[in-house]
Structures are given as structure tokens and as C-alpha cells.
Structure 1
Amino acid sequence: MSQYLQAAILGLVQGITEFVPISSSGHLVVVRQVFNWADQGLAFDAVLHLATLAAVLFYFRHDWLKMVEAVVTKKQTYELRQARKLAGLIAVTTIPAIGAGLLFAGTIESTVRHLHDIAILMVGVGLLFFVAERYTHPRRDVSKLNFFDGLSIGLAQAVAIVPGISRSGATIITGMYHGLSRESAARYSFLAAGPIIALAGFYSLWQLFRGGISDGLGLELAIGFVVSFSSGLLAIHWLLKFLNKHPLNIFAWYRIVVGAGLLIFSWLK
């Protein structure tokens, strides 16, 4: 298969699964292993993450601009105070994931890259989706979250650096536990993804460029970026609309069925 077609497929997988709560890193590992494609590690994954970062920045551009204005200005309007609080919450949510990435990213990259590990996590988190739907009820919006709520969502985001868990899935169900609706939890999850995707992506890009880029790889990255950005925008828009009216059950069943299939595949391989 053409290396450029592979880049496009990986970009499509990344763009969709970064936001749909089924694990982007897990799906990238699975696709490469099932089709026996070379695994370029987390560095190439992060290049695709930069495309989804661009999608988050573009889709929520008004939110980001309002937060920037709130941070740099001394005005005290209600809207700016809420934007300033949201920026602070996102900062709190970001801290645990930074710590986890600095401490454990290398270990995770070398150990949690096997199908059976990802399969077990796919099933386990799928079951947690059912629990969240059964035992959580919307009772407040993002503006009512406090420091400890933001920290709790951040811890979920930190755990989700393990392939197969799903960053969006972990943060959405944690947000639901703290009283957010599915749609509000997803919206906060996507906003909180921005700093983490940016830091991970730029760090891995620095490693990639420092080691040198082989001939043709630049075009592969460009193709992957464009496809991932486009599909990421569509995924964000679709998921927010979907969660406004539907539960997480479809994603829970998807994770369980795919996880079971991967377990069987890994045993037969």
C-alpha cells in the first residue's frame, strides 16, 4: 500500500478517534498492527495530534479568544470573569497530564503497545460508560465547576495517556460524575485537550526534526495533517450534536465488541 495512502488512513483514524471516545492512540496502534504497517511510535502520532489541535482551536476559536482577552485585560464583566475562570480550570486540568507525560510517557511507549493490552482497556472503559450513564445525572454547568473538579478531570486525562483508555472518554465520564451533562462534559473535554495535545505534539515534533526527517516523510505528514484536521472538525461537530440527545451506550458497545475482537485476534495471531 502506498505510504501516502497509509498517512491519509492514519490521519482519518486520528481525526475521528481523538474526539469520539474510543481511543485515538489505541486505534492507531491497532491499525498498524492489523495491516502490518511500520510503527513509528508516539512521535508520528503526535504529528497527527497537532492537526486535531488545530481543529480544536478553530472550532472553539471564539472560546479561546474570549479566554485570552479575559487573561490579558483587567475588565470585570460577567462574561470575562466566566472566561477567566474557565481558563483557570483548564490550566488545573492540564497539570496532572503534564506530570504523567514527563514521568511515564517513555515507559508507556515501550510497554503498552500490544493488542491484548489495548483490548482489555477498550472493554474496561466501555463498561465504565454504562456505569456513568446509570449513576450520573446532570445538575450543573461548567461555570459551576471548582478547583477540585478540574483537578479530578485532569487526573482522568493523565491516566488516559495509556493507549486504549481514550482521553475524551475518560474526561467526559469524569465530567458527568461531577454533574455535567454529556454535551457540556464533551465540550469541556475538547477545550481541555488543547494544551495537552499542543505540548505533546510540539515535544515529539522537536524530537522528530532533531533526528532528521527522511525523504518523503514531510509529504506524508502534510497529508496526514490535512486529513486529520478535516475529520477532526467533523468529529467534534457531530459528537456534540449526538451527545445532546443520545447516551454513551453506542460507544460502550463499540469498545466492548472491538475489544473482544482484538483479544481473539491477538490470541490467534
Structure 2
Amino acid sequence: MNSLIPDLATTLAQVGNPPPTASIEQMNLFQAIVIGIVQGLTEFLPISSTAHVKMVPVALGWGDPGVAFTAVIQLGSIAAIIWYFWDDLRQVTMGTIRAAMTANYGSSDFRMGMGILLGTLPILVGGLLIKVFIPDFDNSPLRSSETIAIVSIGMALLLAIAELVGTRKRTYESLSLKDGVLMGLGQTLALIPGVSRSGSTLTTGLFMGLERATAARFSFLLGVPAITLAGLVELKGFFDGSMGAVNLVSLMAGLAAALVSSYLAIFWLLRFLKQHSTWVFVWYRLAFGAAILLALATGKMQNI
């Protein structure tokens, strides 16, 4: 057990001192699959996927997989959520169109569809504002190791409060347009690295009195447009880079691994929250943030 402590410190030190980037053409099949699994699992659990996709390969000595590879395998997560919720998405989409054509604005499908649409606007506006006012956001203090640690702890505390005070009485059928807007505002927090889109929306849902599984389900549906748009924007970096030397076999393997692990993560979380609380994620986030702060305080990690 004690051997885990220096290993963790070494891992965090490696994260703080940027390792060489593991370019797509150098990445082997096994590495691509492992990173794809990490992406899929952490994208939908209420923890930060950005930090984990970087930390795991660095801890294993593979280096940072880079934005290009991450952007491509994120498409697997997008495909998984659309696949899992295809029937829901089709019903809401068609129901919203029919309601708009017949002026049946009180239908549940219309409320759900408009809630998802309006709930997506805050994160889009927030993203655009960051592009305009913080053009060098990737190198800003908001992306520093210390910020990620503090945000992780802060979100853990918010989730804990939501778990304690949330009534958890409202079901999926009670969702309204207002719920979509409120959860959409909560989703905007995910623009800050370390927050986690799933974590911020799940926390918001619990504060709104939703059942845990209902909050997670609506969080996933609300996340479809945001995750898709974010993935497509990040994918631009892949096409802007050198595509000639891409290891297509590893790339496709990582994509497939992300798709399967994302689907399983969604499946597991929805069933887990029907019978269990979110405390396991609270404690995990607290430990994650505390470990980074400890590494910073002891000089094992640079605040970059």
C-alpha cells in the first residue's frame, strides 16, 4: 500500500512537467485502446475526463496523446451517447417538430426538446466569450494544475451538498423547460477544466430535486449537442495537423474502445444511481484534488 504513495507523487510530477507528446503515428495499438477506454469511462462519469486522458498515459510513460488524437477518439463517446439514447432523441425531435407544427406547445416532447435546445445555449455563449476575451485560454491560469485541483475539490463539495439537501422526488415525467435552462446554466461550469460536464449537470439536477437516475439521464440528453459540437470543434485541430503519417489502425482502435467504454459507462451509471448515492464520486474527486495540491506543496509538481 505504501508503494502507491511515491508512485502517485511521481505520476503527478510527470503531469506537472510536460512529457513528450505521444504522436498519433508513434502510438501503438495497445496504447490507443487503453487511452480510448479512459476517454470513454471518464467522459460520462461525474469526474473530469480532460485530466484523466492526460494523466493515465503520462503515468504509464507514454506521454501526452495530444489534442488531435483526443479529438478523434471523442467521436466514439459522441457515437455512444447517440446510440444509447437514439429512441429518446428520435422521439423528442419528432415530437418537438409535430408540436411546433400543430401549436401543441404543452406537449412533453416539446418541453423536453426546447429545454435541451435552450439549455445548450449557455455553454455555446460561454465558449464563444472565452474565445473572444481569452484567446490564449489553453495557457491561462484557469487551466493550471492548482486550478484543476481546487475546482475538483469545490465540485466535490457541491455534489456532496446536493446529495444531502436534494429531495430526489421528481421523476423524468416532471421535467420542464425551466429544468433544461437551469441544468444548461450548470453545464456552462464545465468550460472550466476539472469541473466535468457530467458532474456539473448531475449536481444541478440533484439541487433541482430530481431523482439521481433522472438527473443523470437528462444530463446525458442535454449533453448530446454540447459534446457533439465540442468534439467537432476539437476535431478541426486534427485536420489542421499532419494527417499523412497517421497510424490509422491505432486511431480506429482507440475510437472503437472509446465507443464501447462510453456505452458501458452510460449503462452502468444510470443503473448504479437507481440504487446508490453519488458519494463514491465525491470522495474520489476530493482525493484527486488533494493529491494534486499535496504534490504542488511538496514541489513534486509544477503549477502549469
Query: What is the TM-score of this pair, normalised by structure 2?
Result: 0.79
Letter in 2 for 1:241: R
Query: Whole-Å Cα distance in 2 between the matches of residues 83 and 22 of structure 1?
Result: 30
Query: Whole-Å Cα distance in 2 between the matches of residues 102 and 120 of structure 1?
Result: 24
- 1:139 equivalent in alignment to 2:169: yes
CA contact (8 A) 1:50 1:197 kept: no
Q: Secondary structure in 2 aligned to 1:268?
A: coil
Aligned positions, number: 266
Query: Whole-Å Cα distance in 1 between the matches of residues 200 and 289 of structure 2?
Result: 17
Provide the identity percentage.
35
**In the alignment, what sits opposite 1:203?**
233
In structure 1, list runs of 5 or more residues that go unmatched.
none
1:92-116 deviation per Cα after TM superposition (whole angstroms, max 9, x unaligned) = 1111111122222554422344433
CA contact (8 A) 2:213 2:270 kept: yes
Deviation (angstroms), 1:188: 0.4
Q: Secondary structure in 2 aligned to 1:138?
A: coil
Query: Whole-Å Cα distance in 1 between the matches of residues 248 and 139 of structure 2?
Result: 25
Deviation (angstroms), 1:193: 1.1
Comparing 22-31 and 232-241, the one that deviates more: 22-31
Deviation (angstroms), 1:130: 1.1
Mapping for residues 153-192 of structure 1, pairs under 5 Å: 153-192=183-222
Select the structure of larger CA radius of gyration: 2
Mapping for residues 58-137 of structure 1, pairs under 5 Å: 58-73=83-98, 81-104=107-130, 106-111=135-140, 112-137=142-167
Mapping for residues 214-233 of structure 1, pairs under 5 Å: 214-233=244-263
Query: Whole-Å Cα distance in 2 between the matches of residues 166 and 150 of structure 1?
Result: 18
Query: Whole-Å Cα distance in 2 between the matches of residues 67 and 148 of structure 1?
Result: 16
Deviation (angstroms), 1:13: 1.0
Deviation (angstroms), 1:217: 4.1
Letter in 1 for 2:287: V
Query: Whole-Å Cα distance in 2 between the matches of residues 257 and 207 of structure 1?
Result: 33
**In the alignment, what sits opposite 2:12?**
none
User: Pairwise CA RMSD of aligned residues?
Assistant: 2.4
Letter in 2 for 1:237: F
1:154-187 deviation per Cα after TM superposition (whole angstroms, max 9, x unaligned) = 1211111222111001001101111111100000
**In the alignment, what sits opposite 1:268?**
300
CA contact (8 A) 2:182 2:204 kept: yes
Distance 1:229 1:171, change over 3 A: same
1:228-264 deviation per Cα after TM superposition (whole angstroms, max 9, x unaligned) = 1000111001101110111110110011112212222
1:44-74 deviation per Cα after TM superposition (whole angstroms, max 9, x unaligned) = 4332222111111111111011122213435
